[in-house]
Amino acid sequence: SRNVKLAVVAGDGIGTEVVEQGLRALETAVAGSGVEITTTELDLGARRWHATGETLTDQDLATVREHDAILLGAIGDPGVPSGVLERGLLLRLRFELDHYVNLRPARLFPGVRSPLADPGEVDFVVVREGTEGPYVGNGGAIRVGTPHEVANEVSVNTAFGVERVVRDAFARAAARPRKHLTLVHKHNVLVHAGHLWRRTVEAVNAEFPDVTTDYLHVDAATIFMTTNPSRFDVIVTDNLFGDILTDQAAAITGGIGLAASGNINPDRTSPSMFEPVHGSAPDIAGQGKADPTATVLSVSMLLEHLGLTEAAAKVEAAVAADLAERGDRVRSTAEVGSDLAARIAG
């Protein structure tokens, strides 16, 4: 038997509601398989910040590091100033745990309506760089609040950081039937970073000769994501472009209620973290109506990352079956969770 130590950051708003259902799916998927899940609930997020002023302490981080993986719900409420928890908690976790692959699948499941009239088959995955780019906070402002204010956000791109994420994206592309990788950037304007990314893709391609590649400027990528999303297989891109593109990808595949993600450390030097792409949705929090599907799909990614492939497949199949049949039915968070658990249990 194997023990998996899972850190759970349910967080705020609907985070706690969807995580409850995610854990239910997780427990059900491994039941009888000899895998035992031990969970540690971590009190992180807006509630803790309001009470103590703390976002993520060194002690919290040390505790997190003792685990095999992290399941995160959602962080934040309108009472916390913008940026405090984003930078102090969520991004700090991604950076400190070196989650350099922010993996965001975009799949239009059968039965799910896309806002696109004729989406075709949509099944791609975005490998969003997770530790660099404009997210590093390497910037500053002077003369703030004056007409002479200067505000800089400097995008940091290192050869080391770009190469490792590009290599991961190639490996993912090589393992997929279409074996295609699209680099998205803006090297006609962001010439320094853009050409580093372009050269890196060219160089790493030599290690993956059966993977075909193409390149799109990010603005053109948004057009194709609307007009011809079937063309994408694996997309690799920087942290900010990836943030924006994956919201668009979620929108065309049924909305952020279905969008899962993994903040992955492929080298396994620290626990990877799985979370729905959506936020804490304070407008519907506490009403038991949030869709837990994105969290359950994130649980499937978590299981896959832990090598529990069979359990991962069961969870994904349960979601696919539920989506195929849900139509316009309105169910509570708990109802969706128990329907999914029943399907996982088979």
Residues near ligand IPM, by CB under 6 A: 86, 90-91, 243, 277
**Nearer to ligand IPM among residue 90 and residue 196 (C-beta):** 90
Annotation marks residue 215 as catalytic: no
**Binding residue count for Mn ion, defined by CB under 5 A:** 1
How are strands ordered across the β-sheet holding 234-237? Answer: 35-41, 2-11, 69-74, 272-276, 260-264, 101-107, 123-129, 234-237, 180-185, 212-217
**Nearer to Mn ion among residue 232 and residue 241 (C-beta):** 241
Annotation marks residue 243 as catalytic: yes
**Nearer to ligand IPM among residue 17 and residue 243 (C-beta):** 243
Residue 279 annotated in ligand binding: yes
Annotation marks residue 328 as catalytic: no
* 184 interface partner picked from Mn ion, ligand IPM, none, CB below 5 to 8 A per type: none
Residue 247 annotated in ligand binding: yes
Residue 284 annotated in ligand binding: yes
Residue 287 annotated in ligand binding: yes
Residue 2 annotated in ligand binding: no
**Nearer to ligand IPM among residue 130 and residue 344 (C-beta):** 130
Annotation marks residue 186 as catalytic: yes
Asked if residue 307 lies in contact with residue 289, where contact means CB atoms within 8 angstroms, the answer is no
Rounded Cα distance, 223 and 49, in Å: 40
Annotation marks residue 5 as catalytic: no
Looking only at residues 214 through 253 of this chain, which bind Mn ion when binding is defined by CB under 5 A? Answer: 243
Identify the active-site residue in 243, 314, 322, 339.
243
Identify the active-site residue in 68, 135, 168, 339.
135
Looking only at residues 77 through 136 of this chain, which bind Mn ion when binding is defined by CB under 5 A? Answer: none
Identify the active-site residue in 60, 100, 186, 238.
186
Just list the catalytic residues: 135, 186, 219, 243, 247
Query: Which segments are annotated as binding site for NAD(+)?
Result: 279-291
Query: Which segments are annotated as binding site for substrate?
Result: 94, 104, 128, 219
Query: Which segments are annotated as binding site for Mg(2+)?
Result: 219, 243, 247
Residue ranges binding Mn ion (CB under 5 A): 243
